[in-house]
Structures are given as structure tokens and as C-alpha cells.
A and B are shown apart, each in its own frame.
Chain A
Amino acid sequence: RKEVEQDPGPFNVPEGATVAFNCTYSNSASQSFFWYRQDCRKEPKLLMSVYSSGNEDGRFTAQLNRASQYISLLIRDSKLSDSATYLCVVRKGYSNASKIIFGSGTRLSIQP
């Protein structure tokens, strides 16, 4: 079983719709959680960190459920420019040398 699992998609949704996807992690010792965005044939870039209390950044909302060991990303009023692959990232410790695990990504395609 992979340590970080994501539904690969693709999620095809119409522009303006709300879309959500989850990421599950297997190691309960995981401490920090993030969402990265990767455009086609480009490098990953940090989208947002995921805090225990949940957090919002504009149209994006991230949630953490430690009991069930998953994090989620909700995108409201989706734009064509949101089309990308979203990578779930889990860090096992608090140090920046702690092991960081990337999920294989969920592909999102926003349709006009």
C-alpha cells in the first residue's frame, strides 16, 4: 500500500462548478500536510499548507481529518486555469530534513 494515495482522476468538471478530492495517508505519525499544483510538463509549485483547523485561500479550502487520516481540497467556482494535477504532500516530522512523501496526483480538467 502506498503511504500517500490519491484518486488519479481525471476529474472533468464544468467551469464554475465546485470540485473536491481527497488524499489518504497511512502513517499516523505524519505531521504536516500540503497541496502542490503541477501544470502539464511543468514543475510542482506549493498551492497551500493544510492546517489542523482547516484553512481557506480564496476559492480553495483545505481540510485535515487526522482520525480518518485524510486531507481534502475543495475548489469553488472553478476556472479554466485551475486545470492541473494536484499533488498531496505529507511530511513525517517537523524538521525540514524530515521525510516528505508526494502522492501521485489527481488530474483536474475544467471544461468550458
Chain B
Amino acid sequence: NAGVTQTPKFRVLKTGQSMTLLCAQDMNHEYMYWYRQDPGMGLRLIHYSVGEGTTAKGEVPDGYNVSRLKKQNFLLGLESAAPSQTSVYFCASSYSGVAGTYYEQYFGPGTRLTVT
């Protein structure tokens, strides 16, 4: 049981290049999330998905796109990378569960992205 995995772990891009970050979970979770973490800013939600084939915008969605074609995978795309997208990206997943009950978010190990 690998939990949540992210690919790649590190990446350096030049401004204007594109890339896709892959998140995979083997816990059969309905919900998946993409966050970015910057110094002094805390984790900020980029996009999330409440189920296969559905996605929604989070707090900072500009410059990113996502897709959830399979329940276990959640992809984050950068179409034209900018230096402001230099960050650590975390994927997370959780059960949808019953309203009123909090189901822990399980995080992947992160992807460290530098855009020069």
C-alpha cells in the first residue's frame, strides 16, 4: 500500500515550458487535491476533485489545469511556466465520507519545482 505518490520529485523548468505533475493514490479515495506551499504562505489549494471526471477551482487556480480521468490519478498541468510558480507542490487525497465527519487528508511527498 503505497498511499499517495507524486511524480516527479524534482523538476527545473525554463519560463514558458510546460509540464504535468502526476499524483496517484491506492486508497480508493474519492477526493483529491493539489496544493502549493511557499515560505510564509502555508499550503494553498490550487484545484481539487470530488470524484472521477470532476474538478473544481481552489484558492489559486490561475496558470494551472487539472484532470481526473481515473479515480486513482489526479494530474496538474502547467501550460506556460512562470517564475512565480516556483514552489513545492503537494497532492492529497481523502474519503468523501459522511457530512460532519472529518476524514484526514493524506499527502504525497511533494514535487519541488523551480522555474528559471
> Chain A residues in contact with chain B, CB under 8 A?
4, 8, 32, 34, 41-46, 49, 87, 91, 94-97, 99-105
Contacts and interface: CB of A to CB of B under 8 A. Distances in A.
B95 interface: yes
Interface in B35-56: 35, 40-45, 48, 50
A42 B109 CA distance: 6
Interface residues of B, number: 25
Nearest to A93: B99
A34 B104 CA distance: 10
A99 B44 CA distance: 11
A43 B108 contact: yes
For the residues of B in contact with A, the DSSP-based class is loop
A49 B109 contact: no
Of the candidates A34, A49, A102, the one having the most CB atoms from chain B within 10 angstroms of its own CB is A102
A34 B43 CA distance: 14
A109 B105 CA distance: 25
B95 A96 contact: yes
A104 B35 CA distance: 13
B31 interface: yes
A102 B99 contact: no
28 contacts: A4-B42, A32-B102, A34-B102, A41-B110, A43-B90, A43-B107, A43-B109, A43-B110, A44-B43, A46-B105, A49-B102, A87-B43, A91-B102, A94-B99, A94-B100, A96-B31, A96-B96, A96-B97, A96-B102, A96-B103, A97-B96, A101-B42, A102-B35, A102-B42, A103-B42, A104-B40, A104-B41, A105-B42
Nearest to A33: B102
B25 interface: no
A44 B42 contact: no
A52 to B, nearest CB: 13
